[in-house]
Amino acid sequence: MYLYPNLDFRIKRPTLQEENLQRITPRHKKQKESTNRQGLCKIRRQSEKAMKITLIQTDIKWCSPQENLQQAEAAIKANPGSELYILPEMFTTGFCMNPKEIAEPQGGAGFRWMLDAARRYGAAIAGSIATEEGGKYYNRFYFVEPSGEYTQYDKVHLFTYSGEDKAYTKGTERKIIEYRGIKILPIICYDLRFPVFIRNREEYDLIICVANWPAVRNKPWRTLIKARAIENQCYVAAVNRAGKDEWGEYTGDTKLINPYGEPVAECKQGVADTINTEIDIEALENFRKKFPVLEDADNFTLNKDE
């Protein structure tokens, strides 16, 4: 059995005190329906509970932060009007296992670009960056808001197959972000394989999964993003990279998945691409009321064997 420090895996509705502790810590400063593909894709354009999001599937240039930041900037500039832009895992460098050479310090250039871009475009920017803090290295996800507030999440499940556990320090906290009325669970790549860690306790509406998931394992990727959406009755914004690097080839398969496990929108395979789409929280809430799977979830506590 495994233990995630600071996490309570009992499946229950959190108390107000628990909910306040889970939310965005640490926080720093300071009409008409149209059908878009399948399932829960009826977008109520006038609904206050619909959010416009953009998924950015980049062809990350190996260990070239400046070039990758320029690519990210160009993608956002070409797709104005979204409330949230999501970039892949380690979008400034690629999945490099030599953090001494490529990791930026906490508050480094990549993070400062996210702060500036969020302010300039009036939208949240999300993605992970190899980060050094206190002499340790982290695969750190940032969710940066236009106000300058941000949430950081350090990857909990490090990919031992690639040696990530030896190069980086694992995170110990699961985070829930609330942004413009929508609750979000951020995860990074390999986290996707661990359903207990991800289990929805009626806490969130959207999973953001950023990844460098190779083509050789794209069938599990496609299966797992659907499974996580179905079992947690939520949307999944799964943003993977495209192109090639020292690890191999990436087909991307960036998609927004609805709670039925159906793709709402998806990027072209194998190339840099961007998609603009929406999530409809009103439709999600109605679905949960009609089919209350989360209310019937098992109660359990996960303990570590001493």
Residues with a catalytic annotation lie at: 89, 155, 189
CA count, 13 A, side-chain hemisphere, 32: 2
CB atoms within 10 A of CB 91: 26
- Strands 177-179 and 136-144, bridge-based pairing: unpaired
CB atoms within 10 A of CB 25: 14
- Strands 124-133 and 104-105, bridge-based pairing: parallel
Which H/E stretch holds residue 220?
Answer: helix 218-232
Hey, which residues does 132 pair with through a beta bridge? 105, 137
SS3 state of residue 264: strand
Which H/E stretch holds residue 237?
Answer: strand 235-240
Query: Which residues fall within 8 angstroms of residue 26, CB to CB, at 6 or more apart?
Result: 151, 152
Integer Cα distance of 75 and 26 in angstroms? 29
- Would you call 96 exposed, middle or buried from its count of C-beta atoms within 10 A (0-12, 13-18, 19+)? buried
Integer Cα distance of 95 and 248 in angstroms? 11
- Would you call 72 exposed, middle or buried from its count of C-beta atoms within 10 A (0-12, 13-18, 19+)? buried
Length of the chain equals: 306
CB atoms within 10 A of CB 48: 10
Integer Cα distance of 169 and 102 in angstroms? 15
